[in-house]
Structure 1
Amino acid sequence: MNKPKNQKGISKYIKLEDYKVFDYEIPEIFMDFVINKNAVNVTTKLKLVKKNKNTKNLILDGTDILIKKLFIDDSLIEKQYYKQQKNNLKIENIKKDIFLLKIEGIIKPKENTSLLGMYESNGIITTQCEAEGFRRISFHADRPDILSKYTVRIEADKNDYPVLLSNGNVLKENNLTNNRHEIIWEDPYPKPSYLFALVAGKLNCVKDNFITKSNKKVKINIYVEYGDEKYVQHAISSLKKSMKWDEDKYNLEYDLSLFNIVAIRHFNMGAMENKSLNIFNSKLILANSETTTDEELERIEGVIAHEYFHNWTGNRVTCRDWFQLSLKEGLTVFRDQQFTADVHNSEIKRLDDAKFLRRNQFREDSGPTSHPVMPEKYQEIDNFYTTTIYEKGSEIIRMLNKLVKDENFYKGFSNYISTYDGKAATIDQFVDKILEHNKEIDPKKFKIWYKQNGTPKVKFKRIWDQTDEKLTIEASQSNPIKKNLYNDLPLIIPINLAIFCDENKTIEKTVVLKTKKQEFVFRNIRSHLQIPLVTYFREFSSPVEWESDTTFEEKFLILRYEKDFFTLSNTVKVFYKKIILCRLDEKPDHKIENKFISTLISFIKNRDINLSLLSELLSIPTFAEIESEMENLDPLKIYKTIDELNHLFGTKLKEELYFKLQEIETSLDKVWPEGKNERKLIETIWKLLLHSDDEEIKSKIINYVDSNSMTLAKAALNSFSRINCPERKIISNIFFNKWKNNSVVLDSWFSFNASIEIDEKTNSIEKLFENTYFDSKSPNTLRAILNTFVTRNSTFHAIDGSGYKYIAKKIIDFDKLNPIVISRFIKVFSRYNYYSEPYKSNMLETIKQIKKNKLSTNTKEVLDAIIE
């Protein structure tokens, strides 16, 4: 594949159209790691089989590796026959078709601060090879379509590195002289280099096991730093649930007798699915109800499932090239979402997933960093680990499942796995397998979903013929982004709809929009309404935005008639947006506000309503939610309006909220997952009551900060975020003093304090970076402060631009330390064009100032996209 060129070169992009098969196969690799105090000697033996008989050269990727010697079949390669450049190694005049290349090299993990490749942090050596980290460990054709069987020997001092882990099964362990020891690992399944993993250090192991459906015993080991052993039972339980679920749902059984997980604090990703050696950010392993919220417990369960499910969708079948990234990630997100829906409440899970996608992916799709699920080009693949690749990719598969029905979907999935097991596949091949026996859906037309960027828009209009009892729905589709040629082509869009003839008669249908304009005709519709009421995209059946001719009076009827959680939540959101827009225009619509408040009261009084759903319905949109959907934004005015509405609704709903509070308080002590709905709702109630200037509730909430439930403790913390009162400082101190020695939990304290507006300047935020407990190498802590400050603190949008300038300094400083975190964070500026003045100009000036500095390639690529 072509590599990015420098400024004098022809192209700085890697392009999908340039893909070609590598000249060699590498069926077997042996790696020998000798870990010394300041360096690691790495000897790699690659068995190479020439596929392109016309080539005599071999080019391998490699960065920051000192070459000692090179051999071909034990013959030393003289220096004039190879050339080492900054990022590759070229060996010339190779005449053999099959040969063994031996590379003796040295790397220095202690000097590697990138958290990519092999690095040492807190005395633990760890690897992160996805996407292109392996080239920092050894020279290799570091691309996902090269699958090899690995044998790995690791040698180290027993005191410094008592635990030595890699992929697969243990072949041999030995004690050596000079207090050293060795271990040899063999992975029997071919894998790409990005799935290689090695961990060495002082770790404690918590053991368990799982019996597969074929009665095979799988040893489960979770390795953590000393003192963290008591926090792993939730992770073990989650892993076992996912192993059992994958057997039951997809007939996929774990294929080895050992499954290892390692929890590391200094780890950029949430987790990594390395074959049989999953490496996790500690935050997504160490958990119990005292240290972890209900929401986080569910997320951890889902992430552990996600990484386990990769064993088949990503590891056994991998992606041919990085343009196919969603083949493994979108598909595995779809599977982990299914898992959580099956284990918990499917309607709430669907609502949560839809909300996340619309808030994050729609925002991404409406800005300059918008890209297709299968991009056509990139500079740094690390920049494409996005909500588009993951969550939108999952939604496309969900639509595919909906279109072909479950039985055909699972049959096609099984054929896909059996056909491409042990191979590198493409998105096209997956879709073809699912649609193999389906004659109604044209695969070529469906695949356009992967090539378009931007969020499609669908418009609906009803035509009602009461005499003939015929309802016609006119539908049309378009894409607001015009740069991509594929965006002009119509998509295949499944639409779940309901036709309400009256309160007691509902017709539910799924129709499929296949052309730019289409009519759907429904006959024998008898309705007492002036025109039958229709709701669209129930269960969020397609990742689109839509407009309809539904009036606001009809929307109130939807809140009476509809049962679908997503549609109820979405309709409520429409009311909130309408109310906020009127207030931003300084023309409050008190009639709609009062009628809407009366509707919310009826929801609160409904004892049968799902309490998580009620929490959603009562939650006034946050700044981040509003910012992703509006234009000509005045951020300070929006923050002020949100505060006003929280005060208004808290005051108007106070009596009903107190009744509900009494009703649910008896369930707050239940053990997760029991009681989670009540605990979710109580934060919403506390927040509204605090905004209503209710003094009585303050002392009551403070009592929960020291709770044995982290959900309640953080609910107490978060509900005070925008309440300027002495109690806010009290709860902050209580939380800090209790958790200051638990770095995972303390990130919540950093986040809370980053949201507080103590004054109009950034002094209070800077104090967080200066805090003794701030760990500059921890991606979690960095994200906790930066992300919260820009999304929940109006000081970021100071009218003089000082908040933007302050964050610019942090971006420049931390880009040197962690470019992956910063390149993702910097997208906060991607919607600058949607802001009013002076915010727009202030943001643009800040972006230009950042660009003047020496930045990582990751961050530079994102900035270039933002202001191209």
Structure 2
Amino acid sequence: MNAAATTVRLADYRRPAFLIPEVVLDIDLQSEDEARVAATLSVQRNPDGASSSSLVLDLDEVSVESVAIDGKLLPPERWQADGRYLTVQDVPASFRLDTVSRIHPRQNTKLMGIYTSSTGFFSLCEAEGFRRITPFLDRPDVMARYTVTLHADRERYPVLLANGNCVAQGEEGGARHWARWVDPFPKPSYLFAVVAARLDRSQDSFRTRSGRNVLLQFFVEPGKLDQGVFALESLKHAMKWDEDTYGLEVDLDEYNIVAVGDFNAGAMENKGLNIFNTKLVLARSDISTDWDFNFIDRTVAHEYFHNWTGNRVTCRDWFQLALKEGLTVFREQQYAGDRYSRAVARIQAVRNLRTGQFPEDAGPMAHPVRPSAYQQVSNFYTSTVYQKGAELVRMMHTLVGPAKFRQAMDLYFREHDGQAVTTDALVAAVEEASGEDLSQFRLWYEQSGTARLSVRDQYDETSQTYVLTVTQSCPPTPGQPTKKPMHMPLTVGLLTPDGRELPLRLEGEKTGRGGSAVLSLRQETEVFRFIDVPVPPVPSLGRNFSAPVIIGYPYDDQALQLLLGYDSDAFNRWEAGQRLAMDLLLRGVADRRAGRPVQFPDYLAEAFGRVLADAQKDPAFAAEALTLPAEIIIAERLEEIDPQAVHEVRFAMRRFLAERLHGAFRSAYDLFATPGPYSPDAESSGRRALRNLCLAFLMDLGEAETRSLCVAQLAGATNMTDAMAALAALASCDCPERRPALDGFYAKWKDEPLVVDKWLSTEALSRLPGTVARVRELSRHPAFTLKNPNKVYALVGSFGVNQVNFHAADGSGYALMVELALALDPINPQVASRMVRNLERYKRYEPARRELMRAALQTIAAHPGLSRETGEVVGKALA
């Protein structure tokens, strides 16, 4: 029988009946198979909570051996432990609760709580993993100060870590040792962490602006210490940036980062003890790409920024997850803009939103940034919470301006430090600091779906008045058939027909607004009148992607080319090129499905050629501007998705551009070689990005000369960025060089797990026929295991986003996903549910694939013993 689903609702939130201000843990890691956890909890009845004579604590796969109150063991009739709760009856108003429990780390394949990896014991507690360590009120609004003592074998596990500062350590009998850690700041249980392992260590220090020296330590698997240098430098950059930008200092005497290969998440912001998946923290030029370095820098910063936006101020309940994640992603994006190209960082953020969050908003799992209900909280670590949540913070930043937003953040920390609060606390702080009424803005947290703006304009030559009429709407989503108008910023500019920027002045205003204006939309339809406009302008709408919406305006091809060439807003220059290509791609898909020949106009090649000719000014931007819209983004614009048609038309456009711009691509490939030693800096990575994009376009033509060039690049690459670009191009080329290149790459790197993951992903993303069979073959390869989330994401996750082969017309891709997901579900249901989500939007596809996907979901739904995590996804998809 499948696991029963229980729906948790925001409306049912009640404050905890008890508070636990102090926690003392003694964790004896006796063996990989068993650990003894003794917990002492200082428990107080919550005067603001519901009255209860019994204390009910959460637990999961924990064996409770004894329970005592104020030092006195309780008889069995006073307490009861079932599979989910420890209930202690007739408790006083204030008392000390002692429990002794047993856990089994080696058998913990869910990787939640304390589990084993190759080098020792590690933990992950967000969202509900602490209950897998000891009975507790495992909810974020129960905040406690923790003292933790760890015991383990000295030789096998020489490193003992927990949250906070190490206050004592020593030796004990039997060749064992111990360490005691004290975290001086109250935190929720999801931020608890321990590590006991054999790890190599590097250390550094950071001097805060107030003059304190903080010890920084980085722990990695033996032999990989050189791969942690970059992350340690990134940590210091992040600490300095947070001081300079928000006035926030690191607050502990030591700050530790640990890398582990078996980890469900990318990283975890545990107070003072950040635990990272190795793929998001280990880096070296020969095994890591420019993307890896950039993402590692940002992820290290993200987890550190959580120290204040998530740890010192945390979320009251899991419905408020965006309070910490959306705000911290926004801060991470600000950091990336300051560290790299601001325009490119913004473009990449929006591309991620459109490929991940927009489809989510249009599917059966659509939910508001602050959900109203969930069955499994692990299913709500979504692009909506993270990426769209960040866009909500960015909109407030845009509406009130940087200075007032900073004042709001100061107020937020001052009023809520050490508290568990709701998203409304952040919005209220922005309101109070700025004087802006954001009551209507709160709808963004309550309503799901991607809003649409329909924009129409009119120019009056006689009065030199230009009128913009903006109408907003939002389509129905599950549980929300109708939506209210939302408050949002729309940043606009106006260009003359020859590309000059016009000064803006709204009717009724005494002074102008310069070249850009932030229009504040509140009503379903708003009208804005600009005066002193000498010529009919071309509007630049939604500059810097000022709101997470889809803007509809009847641009013609000439206007898009003008914006691509002259707009002062770099994001909108990129957007114009994307829209120019998108309009032609959609026409091509329609022609392909109607049996008409697919053709593209010369002006497309001319527009892209101008970008390429101007690429020396900013190669990184040029690489983004020359990248066509992804297949999933094209699919989102169709009423009925035909993935084969989308793939063929997009590939045809790539070949068209490669043919027309062959000489320019070849010249740029030679021109943008990066001289000197490898560096992941923005300028060097931008040159490599453009050069490798040129190679990819040329490889689409399949010419022998280009194939030789690609093979030579792979063989002679001095960095993983160039090697992977060549390998990916060969992986999708039906040529004799392909198989030797892929096999040789694996043979060279088979002992580097992170590089093997890249190889698995490259194989799974190939557009060639036979990829389904190859992924099935690789699922049995010695390099792959369902027990390691990184391997699953690399192979199965990559295959799930392969729009042409996952959606193979015969349904073989769906059948393979069902097979792998069902095998994974009893091992790691969190990861399995994420794989199943590749099937959830079946209703959007053409009839034949729609039925095949629905049958695949029904097969999963009927499987005996299906986890609650996977069951929720399948149930909502089939509803």
Q: TM-score range by the shorter chain?
A: over 0.9
1:653 is aligned to 661
Q: Equivalents in 1 of 2:828, 2:643: separation in Å? A: 29
Give CA deviations for 1:213-271 in whole Å, capped at 9, x if unaligned: 11111111111110111101100110000000000000000001100111000001000
Question: Which letter maps to 2:842?
Answer: Y
The worse-fitting range, judged by mean Cα deviation, of 43-52 and 642-651 is 642-651
Give CA deviations for 1:48-99 in whole Å, capped at 9, x if unaligned: 11124942111000111111111000111111111212100111112x2211
Q: Equivalents in 2 of 1:157, 1:241: separation in Å? A: 36
Q: Is the 8 A contact 1:668 1:679 kept in 2?
A: no
1:272 to 268, 273, 285: 268
1:773 is aligned to 783
Paired residues for 1:191-202 under 5 Å: 191-202=187-198
Cα distance 1:614–1:668, how it changes in 2: closer, same or farther (>3 A)? Answer: farther
TM-score (norm: length of structure 1): 0.96
**Cα distance, 1:391 vs. partner?**
0.7
1:785 to 787, 792, 795: 795
Give CA deviations for 1:382-402 in whole Å, capped at 9, x if unaligned: 100001001100000001011
Pair 1:220 & 2:231 matched: no
1:538 is aligned to 543
The worse-fitting range, judged by mean Cα deviation, of 99-108 and 473-482 is 473-482
Question: Which letter maps to 1:30?
Answer: V
Cα distance 1:437–1:639, how it changes in 2: closer, same or farther (>3 A)? Answer: closer
1:612 is aligned to 620
2:553 is aligned to 548
Q: Is the 8 A contact 1:220 1:259 kept in 2?
A: yes
1:147 is aligned to 143
Q: Is the 8 A contact 2:732 2:768 kept in 1?
A: no
TM-score (norm: length of structure 2): 0.95
1:66 is aligned to 63
Q: Equivalents in 2 of 1:112, 1:483: separation in Å? A: 35
1:867 is aligned to 878
Task: State the identity as a percent.
Answer: 33
2:324 is aligned to 328
Paired residues for 1:332-351 under 5 Å: 332-351=328-347
1:457 is aligned to 452
Q: Match of 1:512, SS?
A: strand
Question: Which letter maps to 1:251?
Answer: G
Q: Match of 2:801, SS?
A: helix
**Cα distance, 1:776 vs. partner?**
2.8
Paired residues for 1:67-106 under 5 Å: 67-94=64-91, 96-106=92-102
Paired residues for 1:813-824 under 5 Å: 813-824=823-834
Q: Match of 2:489, SS?
A: strand
Q: Equivalents in 2 of 1:93, 1:495: separation in Å? A: 58
Q: Equivalents in 2 of 1:608, 1:749: separation in Å? A: 32
1:561 to 562, 566, 572: 566
- What 5-or-longer segments of structure 2 have no aligned partner? 504-515
Q: Equivalents in 2 of 1:281, 1:89: separation in Å? A: 32
Cα distance 1:337–1:758, how it changes in 2: closer, same or farther (>3 A)? Answer: closer
Q: Which stretches of structure 1, 4 residues or longer, exceed 6 Å deviation after superposition?
A: 587-591
**Cα distance, 1:703 vs. partner?**
2.2
Q: Is the 8 A contact 1:60 1:89 kept in 2?
A: yes
Cα distance 1:607–1:426, how it changes in 2: closer, same or farther (>3 A)? Answer: closer
Cα distance 1:552–1:204, how it changes in 2: closer, same or farther (>3 A)? Answer: same
Cα distance 1:590–1:844, how it changes in 2: closer, same or farther (>3 A)? Answer: closer
**Cα distance, 1:608 vs. partner?**
4.6
Pair 1:48 & 2:49 matched: no
Q: Match of 2:146, SS?
A: strand
Q: Is the 8 A contact 2:674 2:688 kept in 1?
A: no
1:476 is aligned to 471
Paired residues for 1:251-400 under 5 Å: 251-400=247-396
Pair 1:490 & 2:498 matched: no
Question: Which letter maps to 1:860?
Answer: G
Pair 1:133 & 2:125 matched: no
Q: Match of 1:659, SS?
A: helix
The worse-fitting range, judged by mean Cα deviation, of 580-589 and 456-465 is 580-589
2:806 to 796, 800, 825: 796
1:677 to 686, 696, 716: 686
Q: Is the 8 A contact 1:667 1:678 kept in 2?
A: no
Pair 1:635 & 2:637 matched: no
**Cα distance, 1:582 vs. partner?**
2.5
Q: Is the 8 A contact 1:579 1:589 kept in 2?
A: no
Paired residues for 1:462-861 under 5 Å: 462-481=457-476, 483-484=478-479, 487-502=482-497, 503-507=499-503, 508-527=516-535, 531-586=536-591, 593-667=601-675, 670-673=678-681, 674-706=683-715, 707-756=717-766, 759-760=769-770, 762-792=772-802, 794-853=804-863, 854-861=865-872
Q: Equivalents in 2 of 1:426, 1:274: separation in Å? A: 20
1:36 is aligned to 30
Q: Match of 1:796, SS?
A: coil
2:115 to 116, 119, 123: 119
2:510 is aligned to none
Cα distance 1:294–1:219, how it changes in 2: closer, same or farther (>3 A)? Answer: same
- What 5-or-longer segments of structure 1 have no aligned partner? none
Question: Which letter maps to 1:32?
Answer: D
Q: Equivalents in 2 of 1:353, 1:490: separation in Å? A: 25
**Cα distance, 1:550 vs. partner?**
2.3
**Aligned-residue CA RMSD (Å):** 1.8
Give CA deviations for 1:546-588 in whole Å, capped at 9, x if unaligned: 1113223322222232132221222222222222222223377
**Cα distance, 1:645 vs. partner?**
2.1
Residues matched between the structures, number: 856
Q: Equivalents in 2 of 1:387, 1:515: separation in Å? A: 27
Q: Equivalents in 2 of 1:486, 1:771: separation in Å? A: 47
Q: Match of 2:434, SS?
A: coil
1:178 to 161, 174, 180: 174
Q: Equivalents in 2 of 1:646, 1:110: separation in Å? A: 49
Q: Is the 8 A contact 1:668 1:678 kept in 2?
A: no
Q: Is the 8 A contact 1:646 1:692 kept in 2?
A: no
The worse-fitting range, judged by mean Cα deviation, of 208-217 and 549-558 is 549-558
Q: Equivalents in 1 of 2:559, 2:188: separation in Å? A: 55
Question: Which letter maps to 2:413?
Answer: I
The worse-fitting range, judged by mean Cα deviation, of 146-155 and 770-779 is 770-779
Q: Equivalents in 2 of 1:225, 1:116: separation in Å? A: 20
**Cα distance, 1:764 vs. partner?**
1.5
Cα distance 1:724–1:62, how it changes in 2: closer, same or farther (>3 A)? Answer: same
**Cα distance, 1:476 vs. partner?**
0.6
Give CA deviations for 1:601-637 in whole Å, capped at 9, x if unaligned: 1221125542122212222333333233323122222
Q: Equivalents in 2 of 1:288, 1:823: separation in Å? A: 32
**Cα distance, 1:483 vs. partner?**
5.0
Q: Match of 2:790, SS?
A: helix
**Cα distance, 1:488 vs. partner?**
2.1
**Cα distance, 1:643 vs. partner?**
2.5
Question: Which letter maps to 1:560?
Answer: G
Pair 1:433 & 2:429 matched: yes
Q: Match of 1:550, SS?
A: coil
**Cα distance, 1:40 vs. partner?**
0.5
Q: Equivalents in 1 of 2:774, 2:478: separation in Å? A: 43
Cα distance 1:486–1:776, how it changes in 2: closer, same or farther (>3 A)? Answer: closer
**Cα distance, 1:123 vs. partner?**
4.1
Question: Which letter maps to 1:84?
Answer: A
Give CA deviations for 1:309-367 in whole Å, capped at 9, x if unaligned: 01111111111111110000000001011011111111111111111111110010011
